[in-house]
Structure 1
């Protein structure tokens, strides 16, 4: 389902409903409106609100700012532009955006269909090696491909032949960029996207001859308050991004990508910590992604990475859940920077399940259920681990990699 295509009439209706609610006799209803006004309207931010003084214009400004616009007029202008683009798409009379000499690179296929509907003519290329999980070796490209293929096959249960075939398509295209006049990278803010972006920028920096390089990289989109990824967006919003958020890739960005990719391969986190400390103004969304990446290292409290810790925390807070419910709650409520796909998360769950001591218990059924349908709970030992009474590295089932950093089980403890 596409999102982000604001309808002006709908926004007008929302503003009127907000005004009506502000006059409601029900105090709880009025208080909800006042909370929203204090958050989004500068006039009400630091003073008590008299419901009788609230106007339709106040509510319109609140609705506009909630949607990411500084004023109601700018919201209206945005809606008008989107309406024009919708009509152009529906009529098939779309102004030229790109041409067949353009290559669009994305770390997934989520916008491929949307770009086609929107009228983009360039070729689409998916490059989706999930560097946010598993080893990133130093070595040459052949070693990288072998080690990554082995990890992905083992972690996600995908046949090696399929992984190798996909790698061949994904990586070899990067060595043929001279076939295109323009290459556009489409990325968002999470660590899955940003680590792949670092790899691509490093690769692009090594090219002697380059096509025109451009990037669209965002962490928010007007009218999409729950934005998590480009795949949410309606085709007309992809056009909006093309027209308003696209920029040329600079030499400074290429150099920063090269530096980050080198740091991701190191055996310690020191180089990444230095980059985080000095921040990455060339790539504004990278710093938070790298911070989140390093949170998968064992915590001092209990040896758990953040995904593992949040998983146990959810089960402790909410009781047994089906795998699909656990994943949804993690992404929606607990994860500070959502980045995991479902296969990636099932791998994290499987590592907890394989622990040398029982951290999770699952429902026993006559017919084995896939992870999304299994009822999963936390054991007493899992609660002790969560509280810091135990250390996960004493019981972890196998070696874990966070980029180039190798985390091994403690050998002095016995299960």
Structure 2
């Protein structure tokens, strides 16, 4: 029967055997923290996810469909393993993937006693640990309360109304890093103060501070936000979004530069009008119904 290592990416595929962790490596690479997730039924969900990933990552749609289909099918085969070790870290990317997985596995009674959560320290990614530290990690049995907390969080994450999720992150969770990640997810709704999402604001601040090329922007954003560790593709996606339209916030061209509108929004003298997109199950756009209010520290209905 053996062991399965379930991880949201391939970064540990070679590292785990080197650190003494034997078993099958199963990558779950659906970037759940980006794009639409609200769909009834797994096949409909896979369809919208494949289209989003193909469009935003410049991949062939059929290739994405095949990969996502294989990764979700692999979850159905977990019963054959004696142990399933869940390698998910503290940040939003991993926690969103974790609750997606737990939402699918919560009713799989055959897996009870076989699921184990690997202990993330809340600071370093697993890939940054030396082999000796990876080898010394002790898997903790995943409890029924943790499974149910993950499934409930997924329902809130995928809902059109974000208030359920806004209530969940405020309560103590049996999943140690979930509350901070879900709060961070909701902070990427448009803010009542300026219309920017938190990630958008951090990007504009990095550019305003002098980051003028891709690598510098990425490094500045990683240093500024330990809960949502963005990737190079995420910042390029953000750049494309913020450089569109007559009221764009970023200049087009090789160098990263703020427009006059971007400078005004960052100073609090103008308001950003969000382009259409999805934040989990929530629709964001010029007339988005939900905002993040930093004064209240939570989700509020947008003013008419």
* Same fold (TM > 0.5): yes
Rounded to whole Å, the distance in 2 between the matches of 1:278 and 1:307 is 24
Q: 2:162 aligns with which of 256, 260, 269?
A: 269
| Shift of residue 317, structure 1, vs aligned partner | 2.4
SS of 2:279's partner is: strand
Structure 2: runs of 5 or more not aligned: 289-304
Check conservation: 2:91, 2:226, Cα contact below 8 A: no
Q: Write the mapping of 1:70-219 to structure 2, written as runs, cut at 5 A.
A: 101-210=2-111, 212-219=114-121
Rounded to whole Å, the distance in 2 between the matches of 1:228 and 1:351 is 30
Q: Counterpart in 2 of 1:379?
A: 259
Check conservation: 1:114, 1:234, Cα contact below 8 A: no
| Shift of residue 265, structure 1, vs aligned partner | 1.2
Q: Write the mapping of 1:33-72 to structure 2, written as runs, cut at 5 A.
A: none
Q: 2:195 aligns with which of 296, 303, 312?
A: 303
Q: Write the mapping of 1:336-351 to structure 2, written as runs, cut at 5 A.
A: 336-351=226-241
| Shift of residue 410, structure 1, vs aligned partner | 4.2
Rounded to whole Å, the distance in 2 between the matches of 1:172 and 1:359 is 41
Check conservation: 2:169, 2:182, Cα contact below 8 A: yes
Residue deviations 1:224-282 (CA, integer Å, cap 9, x gap):
xxx431111222221111x3xx11010001111111011011112110111112231x1
Structure 1: runs of 5 or more not aligned: 1-99, 221-226, 364-373
Check conservation: 1:156, 1:344, Cα contact below 8 A: no
Check conservation: 1:133, 1:402, Cα contact below 8 A: yes
Check conservation: 1:215, 1:248, Cα contact below 8 A: yes
Matched, 1:401 2:278: yes
| Shift of residue 303, structure 1, vs aligned partner | 0.7
SS of 2:118's partner is: strand
Q: Matched residue pairs, number?
A: 287
Matched, 1:328 2:224: no
Matched, 1:289 2:181: yes
Q: 1:248 aligns with which of 128, 138, 141?
A: 141
**Alpha-carbon spacing, 1:338–1:264, altered in 2? closer, same or farther (3 Å):** closer
Q: 2:271 aligns with which of 387, 391, 412?
A: 391
**Bigger share in helix:** 1
Residue deviations 1:74-98 (CA, integer Å, cap 9, x gap):
xxxxxxxxxxxxxxxxxxxxxxxxx
Rounded to whole Å, the distance in 1 between the matches of 2:286 and 2:45 is 24
Check conservation: 2:276, 2:283, Cα contact below 8 A: yes
Rounded to whole Å, the distance in 1 between the matches of 2:177 and 2:14 is 26
Check conservation: 1:228, 1:338, Cα contact below 8 A: no
| Shift of residue 336, structure 1, vs aligned partner | 4.4
Note the aligned Cα RMSD (angstroms): 1.7
| Shift of residue 389, structure 1, vs aligned partner | 2.7
TM-score, with length taken from structure 2: 0.89
Q: Say which structure, 1 or 2, has more relative contact order (CA 8 Å, 6+ apart).
A: 2
Rounded to whole Å, the distance in 1 between the matches of 2:87 and 2:232 is 21
| Shift of residue 375, structure 1, vs aligned partner | 1.5
Larger radius of gyration: 1
| Structure 1 segments (4+ residues) deviating >4 Å | none
